[in-house]
């Protein structure tokens, strides 16, 4: 399973209790819970920590795409209801996994299968804007 399936790096939000929350929204939710006397803030607090950790380790890059490829990526992301950044990250991850499997497969005994599982369950629906 993708450890960041419930984190949207593009909108900087995390999926919790059937909704997307940004850092500010989670901090506000935790504060409101405490002010209301509800000290069961463990889950929102952990979600906030996971989001902070994911954002701290993610590094932005810049990529130039030909117009036709950009149009295809944009259309596919729209059709899937995902941000383009997520689609590009998944494509790069799949490419690297396939390249590693192919490279390892050249050294592996004949008939040895190499299995790569990037996502074993569907991520929550992405935040729409």
For 75-103, the pLDDT digits (tens) are: 999 999 888 998 999 899 999 999 998 88
Per-residue model confidence (pLDDT) at position 81 = 86
pTM of the model: 0.65
CA distances from 25 to 13, 28, 43, 45, 98 (A): 9, 5, 14, 12, 38
User: Would you say residue 37 lies in a domain?
Assistant: yes
Residues of the domain holding 62: 7-107
Would 65 be classed as within a structural domain? yes
Answer whether residue 63 is part of any domain. Answer: yes
Classify residue 121: in a domain, yes or no: no
**CA 64 – CA 6 distance, rounded (Å):** 27
Can you tell me the distance from the alpha carbon of 35 to that of 17, in angstroms, rounded to the nearest whole number?
A: 20
pLDDT value, residue 23: 96
**Do the domain assignments include residue 48?**
yes
Give domain status of residue 21, yes or no. Answer: yes
Does residue 112 lie within any of the structural domains? no
Task: Give me the pLDDT at residue 123, please.
Answer: 57
Number of domains in the chain: 1
Collect the ranges in the chain with pLDDT lower than 70: 1-3, 104-129
The token duo for 69 is 């490829």
């Amino acid at each position: 399973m993708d450890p960041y399936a419930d984190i949207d790096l593009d909108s900087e939000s995390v999926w919790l209790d059937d909704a997307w929350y940004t850092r500010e929204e989670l901090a506000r939710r935790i504060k409101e819970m405490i002010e209301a006397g509800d000290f069961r803030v463990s889950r929102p607090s952990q979600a906030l920590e996971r989001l902070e950790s994911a954002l701290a380790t993610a590094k932005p890059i810049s990529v130039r795409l030909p117009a036709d490829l950009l149009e295809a990526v944009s259309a596919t992301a729209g059709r899937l209801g995902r941000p383009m950044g997520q689609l590009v990250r998944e494509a790069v991850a799949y490419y690297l996994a396939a390249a590693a499997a192919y490279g390892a497969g050249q050294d592996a005994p004949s008939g040895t299968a190499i299995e790569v599982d990037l996502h074993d369950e569907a991520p929550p629906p992405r935040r729409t804007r």
